Structure 1
Amino acid sequence: MFRLVVLLAGLLMLVSGHSLSDSDTGCDVVVLRLENMLTDLTKRVDDLENQRQTDIMDISGVIQEMEEMKDKNRRLERKLDRILKTKSDGRTQTTDSTKYESQTNLQSANLESQSDTRVPTLDQKTYANTSIVRDENTQSDSIAEEKLVKPDDTSTSKHQGRIRRNSSAILAPRQMNRVGPRNPTAFFTTLGHTLTEVAREQLIIFENVIVNNGGHYDEHSGVFTCDMEGTYVFSWTIFVKDGNYIYSELVRNGNAFAFSGTGDQHNVDASSTTAVVNLMPGDKVWTRVVTRTVGADIFASKSSFCGFKI
């Protein structure tokens, strides 16, 4: 047995290019060298395994980037469809506005022609004196006709009488009903995709526009821009998954003026908040996250944002 071990050791030395010396002829030396070879092979196997894990991680990163690019392409396609739809709606609104102005001008011309109608000629023995007077009770203009009746030669009347008649009905054609704009400023939009793991002070962009009269809401930035001074109503709804909560706020020009809390530690929850605010042209309004639990998501479709001018 000892000879066999010595023979194997000699063969190993010949293969490795080393000669077998007299001092290395023991069994312990052979075992030590075999252990060193085994350690080196083990290290190489570990290096190969580490390289394999690194390659797997790189491949996973590439796959994730491809999925993100696909999702981005889908969002860009939806935005392009909305832009084309908005342009088409704008052309329709322009056509309706032109028709409305034409009808209004025609009605104004008809009313002016009616107001120019003259009073019929009176009998030679009577004449009418027409004047416009101010009614202090109703604060409206009316026409008072004074008709002077002259005595007839055969009449037994010895005096002249004045007949005063209030003819406010004559001014009726001049009065026009006030009609508001056909498409007042208003918008309604929902969340097109679920926002995952939202951050503090993150602006919430509701990109799925349903109504956008006037085009003052930007679905790309999530910001509404006022174009006319007045009072506006805003409302937003946040829907979160179970076990999380999100506090959000409504912001005007960087200053929050309305707040909302959604969710708790146990149940899926949603909340809606409505606010009324006075705006000037150029003022901007948007929604953003105040604070949240780590990993909180805002569900798409069920979360929305809307506003309109009173």
Structure 2
Amino acid sequence: MTTNMANALNGKIFMRIFCTLALFMFPDRTVQADSTAKTTTADDQLVMLTKRMSELELSYSRDVGELTKRVQELSDLREIDKREMTRLNQQVRKLQLLHVKHVHKTSILTQRIEEIDRRCDEYEQVDISKQIPTPSENELPRYNTSVIPLSSNAKPRETMITGNDRSTSRKNLRSKFSERSGRSQSRPTRLINRVSSVEDNVAFHAILANTISDPSTNHPVIYNQLMFNTGGANYSTNTGVFRCPSAGIYVFSWSIFVRKNQYIYTELVRNNDGIGSSLAGEDTISYTAGSATAATHLEVGDEVWVRVCGHESGSDVLANLSMFTGFRL
């Protein structure tokens, strides 16, 4: 019995092995077709996936290139904006500095205007008659009033103060004038009778009615208020020029009035040539007047006026006490 059971078991095992070999040796046609179809579909999908991956990689590369280009453009624009901001900041700083300078200048000018207004108020309140003492008879200067005789053939001689050395002190100028005065007194003199009617006397007198503020070099001093004008004298209050109506020897005197700590050089001009000069100012205590006198021979049509030939910046020619006078001998 045991032998039969072993034989039966061996037979079953043999049949199973045979069936398995038969399946491998003779496979089913239907199963093989399905496997082939499945293999073909997988290959197609792999090809499609590979193609899609290539397209995606190409699109990615293109997008990356465009983004890189855009980033570079934005970087360039940022550099341009930075340079523009730097330039604008520099301009803002310059404008701030200019604003500070203008504010400083405005402050200085405002203080200057206030100082001028204050001085003008003080000047208007000053009583000149009380400020200027009247000298006694012994203190009055003595002048040689005699006239030097002229021969019939003598020609008039001009006395010209060139003013080349305008830095000469007043003390030296006074000493020179004293020496000239001493020499003139030692000469023999006699009186000349020059009696004529008032209508024949050519004379004028004018004063400065308006202050001339900080005049420039060669600026004419126009004495614009005429007090009198006789004998056909032709003085213009518009130009400050005297035009000679008849030939002869003329005497001119002018004065300039300035504030303390200021000075102004002026000169008397005949046909654009200086024939006399004067210095007013350089006083640290009070207002100062400077005057001078000059004589010259004029022909008909010659012109004489007063002009500024030098001054300290900010100096003014004050009104009312600045005068200009001329007459024919």
Identify the TM-score tier after normalising by the shorter chain.
0.3 to 0.5
Higher relative contact order (CA 8 A, sep 6+): 2
Please state which structure has a larger fraction of its residues in strand.
1
Q: Which has the larger radius of gyration?
A: 2
TM-score (ref. length: structure 2): 0.40
Please state which structure has a larger fraction of its residues in helix.
2
